[in-house]
Structure 1
Amino acid sequence: MNYFIIYTGYVLILSVLMGISTWKLFKKMGYHPLFAFIPFYNYYIIQKETHHPKWWVAMAYLPIVGPIMMSVFHLFLMKKFGKDSFVQKLLTVILPFLYMAFVNYSKDTELEENNFQLTGEVDSKKKESFLGSITFAVVFATIIHVFITQPFGIPTGSMERTLLVGDFLFVNKLNYGFRMPMRPVAIPFLQGTIMDTGEKGNPKDDPKSYVEAVKLPYLRLPGWEKPVRNDIVVFNYPDDSVHVAIDRKDPYVKRLVAQPGDVMEFRAGKLFINGKPEQRMGDAQVQHAYELVTSSQLDIPALYNIYGFLPVSEYQTNAGFTYIFQGLTDETAKDLGELPQTVSLIEVIGKKGEKDISYYPDIPRSIAAQQRVNSTKINTSSSIFPMNKPWNTDWYGPLRIPKKGDVLQLTQENLPEYRKLIVQYEGNTLENKDGKISINGQATSEYTVKYDYYMMVGDNRDASLDGRFFGYVPETHIVGKPMFTWMSVEGLFANSDSTYQADGLKFRWDRMFKATNTGDPDKPSYWWLAVLVLVLFFGWDFFTGLFRKKNEE
């Protein structure tokens, strides 16, 4: 309810600005000046008077899409009064209410009824038709992107081999319920920033693709399913320190391994849920780090051709040749163990009770676990969760995942586990002083959870920055469920931590338009959906073009 109240407030503010800056123009068009203040109807009048589709007005106040449509309406209105030069158009777009107010209160502003009767009428109409098609294409794509499905690319290897580096997914935003945009004024198709200033710059200083000052609270519309165990889920990275807005944080994709109320635990690298071994889906390619010792050197190119992976480290010792693999499935590990030159194959497991200080983004975890890299390489922003537990990624938990309505009994011991939930995710203040805990200024020993929480872990278990480091993910951060891979390019992200390497770019045609999240290794194809979207887009544009032509005749 708060969402719609605040959103209505923004609409009313925009309507007042529209009225103040255009009421004289409406009067000159023959309408009562107060009509300039009425939401939707003011833009309906503009569309009517400028002979453009009136149904476009329905999109005037939609998040993200609305600002685009408003700019279009403002341009139409200004052209109605002869303000059609490049500079005038630019001012209308970047300073709409200021420039329109300047025109509105200028004494020499008059209607130009014969705009379309001037020399070059045919060329003008063709230009308008072309610009209209471009506008429609942008708006159509923006609506699909914001409200239905959004494309995401996979730059890292945390889900290999289930999902590969260079896969591009279409993510359904409706399955779990559409999450309303929380920063409704933004540049379409950009997630968080307009551009990256580079390694030397501070990411917080990168120009944002959205207006931070215009913000709305969390609201999720009803969906037809809830996230459940074993779903592959796209969510916003909870510990993104650059973006405050939840829906503008970096997108991550992992497997949901524990749902609200579950107890998750890793024992010697094996996952247990509620005390039982995990049940893997048929398409889940879970991987672990291994050390392989051989009596003779392996044919690495041949291994790559057969399995599609390479060792991350290779060195020779008195025992033979040692290879460290960042991630092997049970099947590939079995195959390597049966090679005639294999001396030993050992899964790299951290020591129980030895805490992982941090995730190593630039160093394969298997090597870091053995060599205990120098502390200067530690990424302290991604320490194991929670900080006060002697856990590592192989010996983790047991950890209970909070669910909505849980009453947490707060103690000094468990406060590090729940502090982020209470403060960062649920918007409270918390003070811990002299052994007493206060929430929102009130001393208390318990807290009632507002949201459901989930634990997300990568299938590439030893090369994944996941919930074991940033903790459980609140429902507010969930984006949606991947539908299919619309493109897959090997070698696209050369600096990623993928176990796959390629010379140049290589399209993986066999993965394109194949479904994800089915649990079945035999994936159905979604090529028909791509064709349907194209037919709808070009078909609609064709028929609306015919309708416009008929009206002009």
Structure 2
Amino acid sequence: MNYFLTYTVYVLILSVLMGISTWKLFKKMGYSPLFAFIPFYNYFIILKETEHPKWWAIFSYLPIVGPIMMSAFHIYLMKKFGKSLVKDQLLTVILPFIYMATVNYSKDAEVEDENSNDLFITDEEKNAKKKDTFLGSITFAVVFATIIHVFVTQPFGIPTGSMERTLLVGDFLFVNKWSYGYRMPMRPVAIPFLQGTIMDTGQKGNPKDDPKSYVDGIKLPYTRIFQFSKPQKNDVVVFNYPRDSVHTAIDRKDPYVKRCVAVAGDTFEMRAGRLFVNGKSETVLGDQEIQHRYIVNTGSQLDIPALYKTYGFLPVQEVQGEKGYIYAFQGLTDKTAKEIKQLPQVIDMKEDITPKGEAAVYYRDEAKTKIDTTQSIFPINQPWNQDWYGPLRIPKKGDVVAVNNETLPLYQWIISQYEHNSLEKKNGKIFINGKEANNYTIQQDYYMMVGDNRDASLDARFFGFVPEENIVGKPMFTWMSLQGAFSDSSSTYQAPFKVRWDRMFKATNTGEANKTSYWWVAAMILILFFGWEYFMKLFGKKKTEDEA
């Protein structure tokens, strides 16, 4: 309810600005000046008067799409009053309500009759009209693609090996935003197709200073509509990284993809690199392959490119020792590990498991005074690591949890960041929203998201619980798969570039080893697209002949 109330206020403010800056122009077009203040109908009139499709008006106040369409509609209105120069269009886009107001309140603003001189129209003017039509088509194409991107499905690339061999490095997916209910956009003014920033200024700069792709000052609260299901155990889920400190907007935080291994109310645990939920060993689905990290000592160098061709994904770090070579393999299945162990160069091979009780805590400085919470185990006050973790209960909406110095590292992000309360410690006591507290009621469900390639995954064991409000949706299918598309800093060897044709247009979230192919959908889309284009050209040609 808060979302739609805020959205209504947002629409009303824009409508008032529109009315104040154009009411005289509406009067000169023969309409009541009050119509300039009416949301949607004001743009309907502009489209009608400028001979553009009137139904486009429904896009005028939509989040993200609206500002694009408004800019186009404002330009149409200014052209109606003879303001068609490049400088006029730039001012209309950059300072819309200010520039339109200057035209609105000027004495010489009059409607330009576009049809009065059709008999005497020059070739230059004809070309200008064609250019306007072309630009209008391009604008609408961008808007249509933005609508699909914002409201239906979003493309997503896999840059790391944390989900191997379920999702490969270089897989490009389409994510269904309606899988767990549609999360309404929270930053209505933004550049289409960009997630968080316009560009990366480099490692030397502060990421917080990178130019944002959205206006952070104009915000809408979190809400989700048509939520008929929630993430279930074993779902592959796309979500916004909870610990992203660069972006305050939830839906603008970096997107991650992992498997949901435990839901709210479950107890998660790792024992010697093996995953347990509620005390039971994990269920391995048909599209999963259990993988582990191995250390291999050899008497001579291994032919890594040949091994990569044989086994596919094979990230490895190679170090030359005094008597041979040491290899750290990530993501070896039991079968692959057994075969590599039989190679004549191999002296010994063992699974690399961090000892129990050895906390995985990393520091940002050599003096070990500042803990790097993004790389350290969660929570930082437990003697856990990625192989020996928990048991840890996943918070559920309605849970009443004890809040004290021992439990605070577990719940502080939930209280202060995810559920937006003030949290402070004074004189050994904990205060929530200014009141001393020894317990707290959880306001939403949380999830444990872990990569299938456990030993090469920065996941919930490090960044903690994933709030329900961060959930984006489920991957639908892989539309493109390119081996070598992303560099792998965890490996000495870079995979050669190739297109993985066998993975394209395959479903990604079924749990089955042999996934459904959607090639027929791609073929149908292409046929419809080119068929429609051919039909429209044929129709346009016939219409021209009939008019002649």
Give TM class, smaller chain.
Answer: over 0.9
Distance (whole Å) between structure 1 residues aligned to residue 97 and residue 424 of structure 2: 45
2:316 aligned with 1:311? yes
**Residues 228, 259 of structure 1: 8 Å contact kept:** yes
Q: 1:342 and 1:236, CA in 2 relative to 1: closer, same or farther beyond 3 A?
A: same
Give the corresponding residue for 1:40.
40
What is the aligned-residue identity percentage? 68
Alignment partner of 1:169: what SS? strand
Structure 1 residue aligned with 2:171: 167
Q: How many residues align structurally?
A: 539
Give the TM-score normalised by structure 2. 0.92
Aligned: 1:520 with 2:523: no
Contact 2:238 2:474 in 1 (8 A): yes
Q: Which moved more, 1:476-485 or 1:533-542?
A: 533-542
1:271 and 1:488 mapped to 2: Cα distance? 29
Paired residues for 1:249-288 under 5 Å: 249-288=253-292
Contact 1:359 1:465 in 2 (8 A): no
- In 1, distance between residues paired with 2:492 and 2:40? 54
2:159·2:486 contact (CA, 8 Å) conserved in 1? yes
Determine the C-alpha separation between the residues in 2 that align with 1:306 and 1:177.
42
Q: How far is the alpha carbon of 1:125 from its aligned partner? A: 3.9
| Residues 1:151 and 2:133 are matched in the alignment | no
Contact 2:331 2:453 in 1 (8 A): yes
Mapped contact 2:305–2:493 kept (Cα < 8 A): no
Change beyond 3 A, Cα 1:527–1:374: farther
Contact 1:165 / 1:498 at 8 angstroms: preserved in 2? no
**Counterpart secondary structure, 2:513:** coil
Report the CA distance shift for 1:62/1:495 in structure 2 as closer, same or farther (over 3 A): same
Per-residue Cα deviation, 1:198-244 (whole angstroms, up to 9, x for no partner): 12221111111000010011011124432111111111111111111
The alignment status of 1:4 with 2:9, answered yes or no, reads no
2:437 to 440, 444, 458: 444
- Report if aligned partners of 1:156, 1:497 keep a CA contact under 8 Å in 2: no
- SS of residue matched to 2:90: helix
Query: How many angstroms does 1:434 deviate by?
Result: 3.0
How far residue 321 of structure 1 moved from its aligned partner, in angstroms, is 4.4
SS in 2 for 1:422: helix
**Cα offset, 1:538, TM superposition:** 6.0
Aligned equivalents of 2:65, 2:527: Cα separation in 1: 22
In the alignment, is residue 384 of structure 1 matched against residue 388 of structure 2?
Answer: no
Structure 1: runs of 5+ lacking an equivalent: 361-372
User: Residue 530 of structure 1 aligns with which residue?
Assistant: 522
1:484 aligned to which of 477, 486, 492 = 477
Aligned to 1:366: none
Secondary structure at the residue paired with 1:42? helix
Over residues 69-128 of structure 1, what are the superposed CA-to-partner deviations in whole Å (9 max), with x where a residue is unaligned?
Answer: 111111110110011111111111111111101111111111101267332354344323
Asked if 1:399 corresponds to 2:398, the answer is: no
Distance 1:17 1:398 in 2: 56
Q: Which runs of 5+ in 2 are unaligned?
A: none
Quote how far apart the aligned CAs of 1:376 are: 11
Paired residues of 1:291 and 1:324 also in contact (CA < 8 A): yes
Q: Give yes or no for contact 2:381–2:409 (8 Å, CA) kept in 1.
A: yes
Question: Alignment partner of 2:454: what SS?
Answer: coil
Cα RMSD (Å): 2.6
Q: How does 1:230-379 map to 2 (within 5 A)?
A: 230-294=234-298, 297-308=301-312, 309-316=314-321, 318=323, 321-339=325-343, 342-358=346-362, 379=372
Match of 2:460 in 1: 467
User: Could you tell me how far 1:411 is from its partner in structure 2?
Assistant: 2.6
CA–CA separation in structure 2 for the residues paired with 1:114 and 1:549: 25
- 1:426-460: CA deviations, max 9, x gaps? 01112232343222122232211111100111112
* Equivalent AA in structure 1 for residue 273 of structure 2: G
Partner in structure 2 of residue 509 of structure 1: 501
Asked whether 1:413 is paired with 2:417, we answer no
One-letter amino acid matched to 2:419: E
CA distance in 2 between partners of 1:443 and 1:388 (Å): 22
Q: TM-score, normalised by structure 1?
A: 0.91
Which has the higher mean CA deviation after the structures are superposed, 532-541 or 287-296?
Answer: 532-541
Bigger shift: 432-441 or 148-157? 432-441
Contact 2:423 2:431 in 1 (8 A): yes
Secondary structure of residue in 1 paired with 2:516 = coil
SS, match of residue 313 in structure 1 = strand
Corresponding residue for 1:108? Answer: 108
Q: Which range is displaced more, 540-549 or 456-465? A: 540-549
The alpha carbon displacement at 1:162 in A equals 1.7
CA contact (8 A) 1:354 1:390 kept: yes
